[in-house]
Amino acid sequence: NPTEYKTDNSGWFELSLTRGKSFVIGASFPDHTICHIGQSLDDAVHETSCGDRRQNVTLTGVQDGNYVFFADTTKANVDLGMYQGECEGVYSGATFKITPINGCHAPIEVASADIGGW
């Protein structure tokens, strides 16, 4: 059976591995789409889909400084809204700044004009 490790609240964990050995590392979380994305944080922050990427990676001949990054590309709805005091009144020209709580992606700004239904 594989050894299981859990991440901290920000999604990070460190693992000591024997130099020169090979290891298979995988990531999973119930009801999420997670895949190996690369060897740097920059590899991970630009992906929005796992496509045909695998859920695990084989590290061959481990050396110092090996990093493994996985991406959670699970689609989710985000509810945004502002209350103006009455249902008939809607803010116009509003901009929302969306920042991922795990810190893996840069914040983006979305204009109310770009949000469907307004």
Residue-by-residue pLDDT tens, the chain, 118 positions: 888 888 887 778 888 899 999 999 999 888 888 999 988 878 877 777 888 999 999 999 999 988 898 888 888 777 766 666 666 666 678 888 887 766 666 788 888 788 766 5
- Does 66 share its domain with 99? no
- Does 1 share its domain with 32? yes
Half-sphere exposure of residue 99: CA atoms within 13 angstroms, side-chain side:
3
Please tell me the total count of domains within the chain: 2
Q: How many helices (H) and strands (E) does the chain have?
A: 1, 6
Distances (CA, A) of 3 to 6, 15, 30, 50: 10, 11, 17, 24
- Does 63 share its domain with 83? no
- Angle at the Cα of 55 from the Cα atoms of 52 and 61, rounded to 5 degrees: 110
- Does 57 share its domain with 22? yes
pTM above 0.85, yes or no: no
